[in-house]
Chain A
Amino acid sequence: MNIIVAIKQVPDLDYIRIRDRRPIMEDVPQVIGDIDKSALAAAVDLKESAGGNVIIVSAGDENLEDTIKEGLAAGADEAVLVKDARLAGMESSVIGTVLAATISKIENGGLIIFGEGSADNYSGQVVSRVAQILGYPQVGYVNWIEIEERVAQATRSLENEEETVEIPLPAVMSVVSEIKEPKIPSVSSILKARNKPKRVYTLDDLGIEIPENRYVRTVINLAPVSQRKGILIKSVDELVKVFESEGIIRR
């Protein structure tokens, strides 16, 4: 049984500059988000008990193959990608459709693992949309997984409780970052990643058209106004003075 991991290519948020409150997206490198890296690490861990391959699925723009290379170096066996310039920043309803169609092309997929939220949009929607389209059961916010033949056990980490469920496979899960610390790929695994199999589809291949009417429209996207003093202080004495001037402590 293969384990499929959905990995999103996202802009590296550390490189986004703000000008006139607007985010400048030009020349921002594309990376894999931290939570998706944890999802991949968790999948690699389960590979043995599942007895199949770890397969990355991802939908994104032209840079996708480059970005996903890192995932192949981190232990995935193959990648099935959908590449289209329009897919960068595309809304969740379309991404859900695209990923579900991609996953349907993979044989013997038993468990499909997602991050609980993408590093940029962080909505957690894509997971549930894909599960619904495929008609699979799902369990979200998982911090522990064990696979036994055609069922899995997983622990959902909720605000006030941990709920361990049994779930028939195939199934969709989303994981929290603490499920597994991502591995930093070694040089040799980076080299090997180049030869790992990759399938690249276009939207046409999948027979998907991007609907003209969007489900969700973004009206405003601006950085909040922030005015900080930015004063460097040199000692604890100065810090205490700041406390006094801010009225935190009185002498």
Chain B
Amino acid sequence: MAGILVYSENSKNAHELLTAATIIGSALGLEVRALSINNDTQAEDLAERCGEVYRIKEDSLKLSDTSAMASILDQVVRKLNISVVLLSSNRRGKELAGRVAQILDSGCLTDVYGIEVRDDGNIDCFRNGLGGLTVVSQVIDTEKKVIAIVPKIFEAMGNKITGVIRDVEVDVRSSGVNVVRTKTKVRDAVDIETSDIIVAVGQGLANKDDLPQVEKLAQLLEGEVACTKPVATDRQWLSEERIIGLSGKKCKPNLAILLGISGQVQFTVGIRDAKTIIAVNTDENANVKHISDYMLVADIKDIIPELIEKIS
């Protein structure tokens, strides 16, 4: 029987992919298989969640070598008669997806945040179109399909079975990429996606010294501080985990307060599912007004202290 293959170097993501794979697999009659590369713990964890786990142990195979990794996936896909490859749409996964798809001469979709299997066997994949302006549903028409799914969309598969682990022999073709050093990013454990109230700041916040005020406001409202991409990546005032939008997180809070944010589509796509949106902006024509329930045209430098005072 043909199969559906799950792979991510990130075990949590892989467990989520197993849930997605089970949905697709049972609708299309595909057997779910998981792949684990140079990670025995992961292979064992996967075997508690998936009937068949394929394990590769090859010291010369490096995650950082996307070319070599893609070639391995191709080999496994052919060996196991796989028709659907599910990868994580994290950065490594997205990079891998396009290369695997090219080797397999297949269609590929990344950043997929919803899946529906149709009666005719098509897998409808939902993703952002036009930078987030639209929601697109797309179908891959090639025999083999590569789909990269956004983390945290599907529940992780629980451990409830005893699957088998089988070793697979592969031929490693290094492309000469070698890791010189790795540096752990400063982790920020915040989870803005599940926060009920969000206080988001944009480049309208002129001074880093005003950030504690924003944090104070969020604290008073029992919410989390989030931000637009440039605040985290260009200015590096807040961690990348706090970015809302196309290349950040998709949030559905009850209330979002947007401070000094212009409301460009790549940001808006991450907050438009909020129940209520309040914006404060000096420019009354800023795009953010189209996505707000309430807009206050004012300088956030004045507004934040006054607001803190009035709600304390």
Chain A residues with Cβ below 8 Å from B92 are 158
Chain B residues with Cβ below 8 Å from A217 are 138-141
B246 touches A138 (CB 8 A): no
A220 at the A/B interface (Cβ < 8 Å)?
A: yes
Interface class of chain A by DSSP? mixed
Whether A221 touches B180, Cβ cut-off 8 Å, given contacts A128-B66, A140-B66, A141-B91, is no
Interface set of B (CB-CB < 8 Å, partner A): 64-67, 70, 90-92, 94-99, 101-103, 106-111, 124, 128-131, 133-142, 175-185, 187, 197, 221, 229, 233-234, 240, 246-247, 254-255, 264-266, 272, 276-278, 284, 287, 289-297, 303, 306-307, 310-311
Q: How far is the CA of A129 from the CA of B92 in the complex (A)?
A: 15
Q: How far is the CA of A201 from the CA of B184 in the complex (A)?
A: 45
Chain A residues with Cβ below 8 Å from B187 are 160
In this complex, what residue of B is CB-closest to A237?
B310
Whether A161 touches B184, Cβ cut-off 8 Å, given contacts A132-B102, A216-B107, A224-B135, is yes
Q: How far is the CA of A118 from the CA of B250 in the complex (A)?
A: 19
Task: Give 8 pairs: A residue, B residue, CB < 8 Å, sorted on A.
Answer: A91-B107, A120-B130, A126-B98, A138-B99, A139-B177, A160-B184, A163-B182, A166-B180
Q: How far is the CA of A91 from the CA of B110 in the complex (A)?
A: 13
Q: How far is the CA of A240 from the CA of B217 in the complex (A)?
A: 13
Q: How far is the CA of A127 from the CA of B247 in the complex (A)?
A: 17
A18 touches B183 (CB 8 A): no
A168 at the A/B interface (Cβ < 8 Å)?
A: yes
A138 touches B95 (CB 8 A): yes
B134 touches A223 (CB 8 A): yes
Chain A residues with Cβ below 8 Å from B183 are 161-162, 164
Chain B residues with Cβ below 8 Å from A234 are 296
Whether A163 touches B135, Cβ cut-off 8 Å, given contacts A123-B109, A133-B102, A224-B272, is no
Chain A residues with Cβ below 8 Å from B307 are 236, 239-240
A96 touches B179 (CB 8 A): no
Chain A residues with Cβ below 8 Å from B130 are 11, 13, 16, 23, 120, 221
Q: How far is the CA of A226 from the CA of B133 in the complex (A)?
A: 11
Whether A13 touches B66, Cβ cut-off 8 Å, given contacts A228-B291, A246-B255, is no
* Sample of 19 further A-B pairs with CB below 8 A, known A93-B102, A132-B102: A11-B130, A18-B133, A23-B130, A92-B98, A96-B102, A125-B97, A128-B97, A139-B64, A141-B91, A160-B187, A163-B64, A165-B64, A168-B175, A213-B141, A218-B136, A221-B136, A224-B272, A230-B295, A234-B296
Chain A residues with Cβ below 8 Å from B140 are 215-217
Closest 8 CB pairs of A and B: A128-B98, A215-B107, A137-B175, A125-B98, A132-B102, A140-B95, A128-B99, A220-B137
Q: How far is the CA of A228 from the CA of B291 in the complex (A)?
A: 6
A181 touches B234 (CB 8 A): yes
Q: How far is the CA of A240 from the CA of B278 in the complex (A)?
A: 11
In this complex, what residue of A is CB-closest to B197?
A248
Q: How far is the CA of A235 from the CA of B131 in the complex (A)?
A: 34
B265 touches A163 (CB 8 A): no
Whether A216 touches B109, Cβ cut-off 8 Å, given contacts A122-B131, A132-B103, A133-B102, is yes
B135 touches A132 (CB 8 A): no
